[in-house]
Amino acid sequence: MTIKMTTIDTMPDSVRIPVYRREDHGVGIVHIGLGAFHKAHQAVYTDDALSKTGGDWRIVGVSLRSDAPSDELRPQNGLYTLIERDAAGSRARVIGAIAAAHCLKTDRKAVEAALLSAETRIVSITVTEKGYGLDRATGGVDPAHPAIAHDLKLPSDAQGLAGLLVWALGQRRALGRAPFTVLCCDNLPENGVVLRGLLVDFARRAAPDLADHIVHGVAFPSTMVDRITPAATQDTRDLAEQMTGYRDEAAIETEGFHQWVIEDHFPTGRPNWEAGGAIFASDVRPYENMKLRMLNGAHSMLAYVGFAAGHHFVRDVMADPDLSRLVTRHLSAAAATLAPLPGVDFAAYADQLTERFCNPHLAHATYQIAMDGSEKMPQRIFSAIPDARASGGDTRAFAFATAAWLRHLSQSTHDCAPYELRDPRADELRTMTQDRDAPEIVRAVRAASFVPRDVSQDAAFWDAVQSILHEMLTRPMSEVISVEVA
């Protein structure tokens, strides 16, 4: 008989369970973006902190739109299984850090209460790059982003992140409560600075008296977050049931590796995340650049090239010797653009990434990584190009990655099955790329708002992109890859 995961009273000994009494610990964090990544990363660090040093740091998880995450977690009292999978095997662990789960759309009152509670000292966020409504060119809000457009009218039901946080910070000030620390955990460079700029711009437009309060009174530490976490599937839930004996609708799987580098600026306190291995640094930018350009840059390149070459998962891409050489090339080209980081050997980091990408137990879909490219390419690929130029380095690897992205946007199916283009700018990108040749595509995309001005002006770079793209649009990807590595 299937036992649903509502308690963990009879877990097998092989499954690690929380060693703390959950009910003894209050809530200190509201987390917005209750997806697999949060459950595999910040919630696990918090679980470790609670196990080791306790504190009132349990988490109220919030999703802005979908009620699936809260519907899965609520009947399980916030408990869920985390399965770590790598060469050392598969290990199951139950995480107890999530105290409650809500969806803004359906449980607005509960979300508002959590954001305004005097006990809430940190609001952490993983809404993915596209969730912010950020205008890359200005660093402020994009008034065309649907949630921003709605929230700038100052409705009583803010839908987007900026509107909700500015509203909550304003209410807290009116109630005489200290502001919470805002902790961005998405893959954006200087993510704390970016989020502060976004909220200040939103406030200037919608609630000007709050802008100074946000600039001077609210802390926005930056962070580098890392753990490869594929979307959970039926296989994940079946594996969790096999390993624990419980049916867990909220189970997730991830790799063994995890990393979190955080700027230590928490005026209202924080959990002892060091217990889970978090590193506190005065400047996280070098770590962010390393991770964004090496891990995420190589990920995007291999996803676009691999998907077009017929590989469903990252592990399949890595099993293809030519593609794996392209990954190695990309990693070393990206490493060459980085300022030295004391104590970190980029070559060793690249080897570790290769091993992580090869993880045979993780079914990480290339199509998943390929989505939202217009939100990912700037920090993963474009940001490296001026640095490569400045150091006299080669930009071929970045041109190849860019061409592969453009080919993906064109939805050319001469050598693969039709697929849906998933990107918040899908309509605009389709107009720029579909049924067009390489020069037309390059001309249109080069001038787009999400391409930084210095990259847009790099004629030699775009010449290379155009000639690679021409090959990609006229020959099967497998042939283009063979020629590229020859």
If you search the block for the tokens 């609670």, which residue do you land on?
Answer: 50
Interatomic CA distance for residues 346 and 348, integer angstroms: 5
Nearer to ligand CS2, 102 or 130 (CB): 130
Query: Is the alpha carbon torsion for 320, 322, 324, 326 positive or negative?
Result: negative
Angle at 49 (CA atoms; ends 60, 165), nearest 5 degrees: 35
Of the pair 223, 337, the CB lying nearest ligand CS2 is at: 223
Nearer to ligand CS2, 372 or 458 (CB): 372
Identity of the residue, 196 or 299, whose beta carbon is nearer to ligand CS2 in the bound complex: 299
Residues that bind ligand CS2 (CB under 6 A): 187, 226-228, 295-296, 299, 368-369, 376
* 3-state SS string for 137-161: CCCCECCCCHHHHHHCCCCCCCCCH
| Cα–Cα distance measured from residue 300 to residue 373, given in angstroms and rounded to the nearest whole number | 8
Q: In the complex, what is the shortest distance from the CB of residue 300 to ligand CS2, in angstroms, rounded to a whole number?
A: 6
Smallest distance from the beta carbon of 205 to ligand CS2, in angstroms? 30
Q: How far is the CB of 292 from ligand CS2 (least distance, A)?
A: 8
Q: Which is nearer to ligand CS2, 205 or 376 (CB)?
A: 376
Taking the complex as a whole, how short is the minimal distance between the CB of residue 58 and ligand CS2, in angstroms?
Answer: 24
CA dihedral 230, 227, 98, 65 (to 10 degrees): -50
- DSSP classification of residue 381: I
- 226 near 185, Cβ under 8 Å? no
Q: What angle do CA 80, 296, 330 make, to 5 degrees?
A: 145
Is the Cβ of residue 151 or residue 253 nearer to ligand CS2 in the bound state? 253
Secondary structure letter of residue 465 according to DSSP: H
Q: Report, in Å, the least distance between residue 259 CB and ligand CS2.
A: 8
What is the rounded CA–CA span in Å between residue 66 and residue 200?
Answer: 27
Residue 296 CB, nearest distance to ligand CS2 (Å)? 5
- If we measure between CA atoms, which residue out of 442, 397, 411 comes closest to residue 298? 397
DSSP code string of 85-108: EETTEEEEEEE--EEEEEETTT-H
Q: How far is the CB of 455 from ligand CS2 (least distance, A)?
A: 20
Question: What is the rounded distance in angstroms from the CA atom of residue 196 to the CA atom of residue 201?
Answer: 8
Shortest gap between Cβ of 120 and ligand CS2 (angstroms)?
26
CB of 218 or CB of 331, closer to ligand CS2: 331
Pair 126, 39: CB distance under 8 Å: no
Closer CB to ligand CS2, 28 or 69, in the complex: 69
Nearer to ligand CS2, 145 or 227 (CB): 227
> In this complex, which beta carbon is closest to ligand CS2, that of residue 110 or of residue 358?
358
Nearest residue to ligand CS2 by CB is: 299
Q: What distances in angstroms separate CA 182 from CA 42, 122, 133, 258, 272, one per listed residue?
A: 14, 6, 17, 22, 17
What is the C-alpha separation between 8 and 94, in angstroms, rounded? 8
> Rounded to the nearest whole angstrom, what is the least distance from the CB of residue 303 to ligand CS2 in the complex?
7
Cβ contacts of 480-484, under 8 Å, gap ≥ 24: 481/305, 481/309, 481/322, 481/323, 481/326, 482/322, 484/322, 484/326, 484/400
CB of 299 to ligand CS2, least distance (A): 4
